[in-house]
């Protein structure tokens, strides 16, 4: 889904060349019908199975964006000369990154390109977010994230995130505590990668994010086009990359490349 950082967030669903406004459909019945066709979001070829949220198998094996280092940036191997797509990496990985704190189902640490703020936080369903460090590239960001993970989690409990708003957290205080707790590791990274490789963002301001949700469900059941080609229900809300229906929750990003028709009533 395409999300605009408004309050509440404004969502649009790509359907071919069109973008369907979703916020206006809150409280209405939806029917999402999967035709059985899947097209790779990179090369466009028809595929019988989608990998890594939208790719065919050849692209999964070929593209740098599908490599394991995207999930674990501390495993970046660009400097070893073995990156699958060095030019792509120059524009996506060898750019300024932000190490941040976000509160979606609890406080977590994460990494994203500076240009992806606040989109990354919205995609995670965070209600609060705060930039903590600015770093020279994705590899350094990953190494710093590993150090911070010893003191704060790095996962989102998607079911808890979809059940309601998390308890508010003092992210500024947590940011300062992490700086102290990881002082040695930060100094080591600065020594290793040079002055300016890691910059503490003491004056960064917290962002609060509001989502278009009429009602949160008491229980959350995952919906899947692979199991149920036709999904129906009343749209209760939209959060992160999930449609929250009274019949369950659909992770829209998981089914990128699926050919789906939408009927609203």
Measuring CA to CA, how many Å separate 24 from each of 27, 101, 176, 255?
9, 31, 40, 22
Per residue in 130-146, pLDDT (tens digit) is 999 999 999 999 999 99
**Per-residue pLDDT, 167:** 94
Calpha distance 50→173 (Å, rounded): 42
Residues of the chain scoring pLDDT < 70: none
**Per-residue pLDDT, 183:** 94
Angle at 210 between CA 206 and CA 211, to 5 degrees: 140
**Per-residue pLDDT, 235:** 97
Per residue in 197-213, pLDDT (tens digit) is 999 999 989 999 999 99
* Residue 2 in tokens: 């395409």
**Per-residue pLDDT, 265:** 80
Count helices and strands (H / E) in the chain.
7, 14
Token pair 């010893």 in the structure block, residue: 150
**Per-residue pLDDT, 17:** 81
Phi, psi torsion values for 179, nearest 5 degrees: -60, -40
């Amino acid at each position: 889904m395409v999300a605009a950082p408004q309050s509440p967030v404004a969502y649009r669903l790509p359907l071919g060349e069109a973008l369907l406004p979703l916020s206006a459909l809150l409280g209405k019945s939806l029917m999402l019908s999967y035709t059985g066709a899947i097209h790779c979001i990179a090369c466009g070829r028809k595929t019988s199975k989608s990998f890594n949220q939208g790719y065919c198998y050849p692209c999964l094996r070929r593209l740098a964006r599908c490599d394991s280092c995207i999930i674990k940036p501390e495993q970046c191997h660009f400097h070893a000369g073995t990156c699958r797509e060095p030019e792509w990496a120059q524009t996506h990985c060898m750019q300024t990154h932000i190490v941040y704190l976000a509160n979606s189902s609890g406080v977590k640490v994460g990494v994203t390109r500076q240009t992806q703020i606040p989109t990354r936080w919205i995609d995670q369903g965070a209600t609060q977010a705060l930039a903590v460090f600015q770093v020279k590239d994705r590899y350094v960001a990953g190494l710093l994230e590993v150090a911070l993970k010893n003191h704060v989690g790095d996962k989102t409990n998607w079911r808890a995130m979809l059940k309601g708003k998390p308890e508010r957290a003092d992210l500024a205080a947590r940011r300062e505590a992490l700086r102290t707790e990881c002082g040695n590791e930060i100094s080591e990274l600065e020594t290793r990668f040079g002055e300016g490789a890691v910059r503490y963002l003491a004056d960064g301001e917290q962002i609060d994010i509001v989502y278009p949700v009429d009602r949160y469900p008491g229980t959350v059941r995952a919906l899947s086009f692979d199991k149920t080609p036709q999904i129906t229900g009343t749209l209760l809300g939209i959060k992160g990359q999930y449609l929250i229906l009274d019949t369950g929750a659909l992770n829209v990003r998981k089914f990128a490349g699926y050919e789906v028709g939408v009927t609203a009533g």
